[in-house]
Structure 1
Amino acid sequence: MPEARDVSPFATVQRAYIEAQGIDLLSGTGSVSASVRYLADVRLDSRHKIPNPKKQMVLLFARPGTTPGDIQLVSPDAQLPWSQPLEAQIRKILADLSAPDSPPHITGINMALYQQGDLAGEGETQIFLTTTKGTPAAIIIQHRAGQPSRWSASFSEVVDAANAPPAQGTLEWYRLACSLPEMLPASANLGETQEAKDQAVADYLLVRRDLGPCTRTRVSWGGDIAKPGK
C-alpha cells in the first residue's frame, strides 16, 4: 500500500505506483517503451487525495530499471506536468548542453577591472570568469553618457558588448545566476584607484540584480525513488 508522509517544504505526499504510456524520448539512448512503470511521490490535493492521473501528460527525468519498461525517477521532483512551453524549453537546454560551444560551469571570478573612458560619463568594467573547461568567459558592463548602463556576457574569446544579457531560463542565464557569488571578491578587483574599484563593485551588483535569484536550484525534500517491483 502507498505510504502517506509529510515531507518539508511540501505538503503531504503519497508514494504511488504509476503505469503510463510512453510517447517520446527527448534525450537518451534507445527508444521509449510503449508502457512504462515507476514509483513517484505525488503531492496530494486539497482533499488529501492523489489527483486522478488519467489523461494527464507529464515530463519525466528517469533512468532505466533492470526490467524492460521499468524506470526510476532521478529525484523526487523529476515528474513535471507537461506543457508545450516547458517541453520547448527543455529541448532548447538539451540542445545547448550537447553543442560543442556549450557554456561551461563557472567556478569563480579571475579578475575585474574598471577603465574610465575618454569622455565624461563613459567607461567599461570587464569581469573575467574561470570555468571547469578552462575556456574563456567574461562579462562586460558599458557606460555611455546619457544612457543606461548595459552589460553582456560571452562564453568565447569574442566579446560582443552589443549583445543583450542572457534571457532567464536559458543555459547561459543558469550558468551565471547559479554560479556567480553574491559579491565581487575584493581579491579579484584590480582597479587602480578606489573610485575604479567602487565602480567595478557597483557594476557587478547591477549584473547580479538583473540576473535575479537562481530559481533552478533543486530543493532536496527527501525520499528515494525505488524501482517498481513485480
Structure 2
Amino acid sequence: MKVEQIYTGCLAQGAYYIESNGEVAIIDPLREVQPYIKKANSDNAKIKYIFETHFHADFVSGHVTLAKETGAKIIYGPQANPSFDAYIAKDNELFTLGNVTIIALHTPGHTMESTTYLLKDEQGKDYAIFSGDTLFLGDVGRPDLAQKMGEITERDLAGFLYDSLREKIMPLADDVIVYPAHGAGSACGKNMMKETVDTLGNQKKMNYALRADMT
C-alpha cells in the first residue's frame, strides 16, 4: 500500500494518491489531472476510484476529466446530487482497492454531502482518514457556507458537524492518521496548523472542536 499527499501550497489544498496491488484511488484531485495519470502509469497501476469529500467552492476539481481519461468511477457521499455521472455512496459503504479497503463515513456539517473516507490496511486495521473539510489540523470546517439549503441554517450545520465529529471520527483509534483537504492559508478555517498531516490522537488533545467537555 502506498499513500501520497499531493499538496498545492498556493491553494493550501491536499489531494491524495492511494495505491494497492495495481489499483489506485485519487481523493479530491485538482483540475490538472496528468500528474495523477503519470504517477499511476509509473506504478503500473490503474486508477479505479476518484473520491470527492464534498463539492469544492475554492478550487476546480479534475474529477470529471480524470474519470473520462481513465474510466475511473467518481464517488460522492450521501445527499450529493451532481449534474454529471457519479456514484453516490451509502454511509459506511465499503470499496475494495487492491488489498485494502476504503469506507465512506458520511460526516455532514461543512456541507450536507461531506464525507470522510476511512482507509483500512491489508490486515483490516484502521490506518488513516481523509477528512476533507470536516476535520482540519487545529480546526474544523466552516458550517456557515450553506446556500440554497431551504430550511437548513448554519446553526443546523454546526449541529450536524458536532455529531459527525463525535459519532464518526472521535471513536477511531488515536494512531489513525488524519489527512485533511486543506492546511494553513485556506479560507475554509481560521486556526489551521502549518503541518499537513497528524495523528487523530494529537488532534483530540489540541483541537478545540474535539475537546471532551464540548457541548
> Which TM-score band (shorter chain)?
under 0.3
- TM-score, L = length of structure 2: 0.26
- TM-score, L = length of structure 1: 0.25
